Amino acid sequence: MAEIISGKVVSAAKREEIKNRVKQLNANGKQVGLAVIIVGNNSASRVYVNNKKKACEEVGINSYEYALPEETTQEELLSLIAQLNKDEKVNGILCQLPLPGHIDEQAVINNIDPSKDVDAFHPFNVGHIMIGDYTFLPCTPAGIMEMLKFYNISVKGKKCVVIGRSNIVGKPMAMLLLKENGTVEICHSRTENLKTETLSADILVAAVGKADFVTADMVKEGAVVIDVGMNRNADGKLCGDVCYAEVEKVASFITPVPGGVGPMTITMLLENTVRAVE
Rounded CA gap, 244 and 67, in Å?
37
> How many Å is the maximal CA-CA distance in the chain?
57
Strand partners, 66: 37
Check whether the bond before 98 is cis (ω within 30° of 0). yes
Q: Which of 14, 52, 158, 171 is catalytic?
A: 52
Name the active-site residue from 14, 116, 119, 158: 119
- Ordered DSSP codes for 15-64: HHHHHHHHHHHHHTT---EEEEEEES--HHHHHHHHHHHHHHHHHT-EEE
Catalytic, 96? Answer yes
66 and 79 Cβ atoms separated by less than 8 Å: no
List strand residue ranges (DSSP E) for 110-246, in order: 159-163, 183-187, 203-206, 224-227, 231-232, 238-239
**Catalytic residue status for 119:** yes
Question: Is 133 in the active site?
Answer: no
Indicate which residues carry an active-site annotation.
Answer: 52, 96, 119
